């Protein structure tokens, strides 16, 4: 790293992309991370920061632009921190995401398994059915600038639903018209913190305003303005969050107008969604993802399936249609209540749900002698705790289907599963979040017969 100097200009070729969506350039063995770079381009770059094991740079000149370089359609790109890949064609974005999953499985997972494919979105714009808009201390509503809590005011976002954008702007108008103070996270004063919107397949929406208090002024006017902007709004809800910190939602809700839930359809099933319910933000790609998980599960109608981290039961109920018995487990109590309601609403009688931590539930079910044929897991970004993997292996399922939102923890957990007798045999990636660096993946792990599980 001694050869690289801050402010110095160097020439190099972009080799690929980091997990953060930055271009990777190697200079004399040192890795330089470069925003808005495209694989294959030779660039002159200025070093902006030298760190212990890497450096950061910015492009000064592109010698020959790649045919995969695209002109960003979003006027906020580069200021808003929401998207990472709008400077790439969608084909190149999919390559980058597939390669990220492949690298994680190979380098972290220690497996030579190849990622079979990446399933791209038919429509990579306006796909989000849940939007969370932070409110700046000055009352601006938009999204955070990259690596900061400064709000970039945004009226129209290319990946949010247009209904959500209109709803957020209606809240901004209400704040301005009635002088409703925004929350200032540096002082803990003020009222409005976030605007949260859900939109369903039918074009209905649910608006939640997150406030630093139990009530806000001019609540009827708030509801009226939201309904005027989005006439198919089914409810306006106030969430109280008086805690300092980055957590968006508090624990208490009060309905200002209408109802506090939204109905939606997914994989032919109907789901009730309250504000805190977990639900995949890209409905169309969720159906693709769940379809692949079902394919990997290989169900014939007789199997017992255990679904850990089941949320409101979306995957569990899809599995139940093809299984003899489906069991879902989730630590969030309201989600389990929703899951049970969803099962009843859809007439699913072979699904049951338990509330508890995945480690505790899996250990309890294993101790009770449950021997599922298939276990599916869809954990949060931190992946699986070692004791969950041990408990799953102790049950001895023939197959484990791992749905992941983080390639690095997926790779780590694939390696852990190999140590307890489960080999990764199939993998694919699914682009749930076009325009961003995030990618979902599905891996099938098969039990090694002849290898003793704990």
- Residue 372 C-alpha from the chain's centroid: 28
Between CA 202 and CA 204 the distance in angstroms is 6
Give the tokens for residue 408.
């690095």
Active-site residues: which are they? 405
Burial label, 324 (beta-carbon count in 10 A; 0-12, 13-18, 19+): middle
How far is residue 26 from each of residues 3, 19, 83, 301, measured CA to CA in Å? 12, 16, 24, 52
Contact, 290 vs 318, CB < 8 A?
A: yes
- Say how far apart CA 404 and CA 379 lie, in whole Å: 7
Residue 114, classed as helix, strand or coil, is coil
Cα separation, 260 vs 307, whole angstroms: 27
Q: How far apart are CA 207 and CA 221, in angstroms?
A: 14
Query: Which residues lie closer than 8 Å to 55 by C-beta, 6 or more apart?
Result: 1, 4, 27, 30, 31, 32, 33, 47, 49
């Amino acid at each position: 790293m001694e050869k690289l100097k801050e402010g110095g200009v160097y020439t190099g070729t972009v080799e690929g992309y980091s997990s953060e969506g930055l271009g990777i350039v190697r200079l004399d063995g040192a890795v330089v991370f470069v925003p808005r770079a495209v694989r294959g381009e030779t660039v002159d770059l200025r070093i902006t920061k030298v760190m212990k094991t890497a450096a950061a740079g910015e492009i000064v000149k592109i010698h020959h632009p790649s045919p995969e370089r695209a002109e960003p359609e979003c006027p906020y790109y580069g200021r808003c921190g929401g998207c990472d890949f709008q400077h790439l064609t969608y084909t190149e974005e999919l390559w980058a995401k597939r390669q990220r999953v492949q690298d994680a499985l190979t380098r972290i997972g220690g497996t030579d398994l190849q990622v079979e494919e990446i399933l791209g979105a038919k429509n990579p714009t306006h796909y989000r059915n849940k939007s969370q808009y932070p409110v700046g201390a000055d009352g601006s509503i938009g999204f955070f600038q990259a690596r900061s809590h400064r709000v970039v005011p945004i009226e129209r976002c290319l990946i949010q639903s247009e209904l959500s954008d209109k709803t957020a702007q209606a809240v901004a108008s209400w704040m301005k018209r009635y002088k409703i103070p925004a929350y200032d996270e540096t002082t803990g004063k003020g009222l409005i913190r976030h605007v949260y919107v859900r939109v369903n397949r039918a074009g209905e929406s649910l608006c939640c305003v997150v406030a630093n208090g139990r009530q806000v002024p001019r609540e009827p006017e708030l509801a009226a303005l939201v309904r005027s902007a989005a006439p198919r709004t089914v409810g306006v809800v106030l969430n109280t969050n008086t805690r300092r910190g980055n957590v968006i939602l508090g624990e208490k809700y009060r309905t200002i107008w209408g109802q506090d839930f939204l109905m939606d359809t997914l994989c032919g099933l109907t789901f009730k969604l309250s504000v805190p319910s977990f639900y995949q933000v890209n409905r169309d790609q969720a159906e693709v993802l769940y379809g692949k998980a079902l394919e990997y599960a290989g169900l014939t109608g007789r199997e017992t399936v255990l679904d850990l981290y089941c949320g409101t039961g979306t995957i569990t109920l899809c599995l139940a249609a093809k299984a003899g018995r489906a069991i879902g487990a989730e630590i969030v109590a309201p989600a389990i209540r929703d899951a049970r309601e969803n099962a009843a609403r859809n007439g699913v009688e072979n699904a049951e749900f338990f509330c508890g931590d995945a480690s505790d539930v899996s250990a309890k079910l294993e101790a009770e002698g449950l021997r599922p044929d298939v276990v599916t897991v869809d954990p949060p970004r931190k992946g699986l705790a070692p004791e969950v993997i041990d408990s799953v292996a102790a049950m001895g399922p023939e197959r484990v289907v791992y749905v992941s939102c983080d390639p690095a923890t997926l790779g780590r957990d694939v390696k852990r599963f190999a140590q307890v007798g489960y080999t990764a045999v199939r993998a694919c990636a699914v682009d749930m979040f076009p325009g961003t660096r995030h990618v979902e993946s599905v891996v099938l792990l098969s039990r090694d017969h002849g290898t003793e599980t704990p």
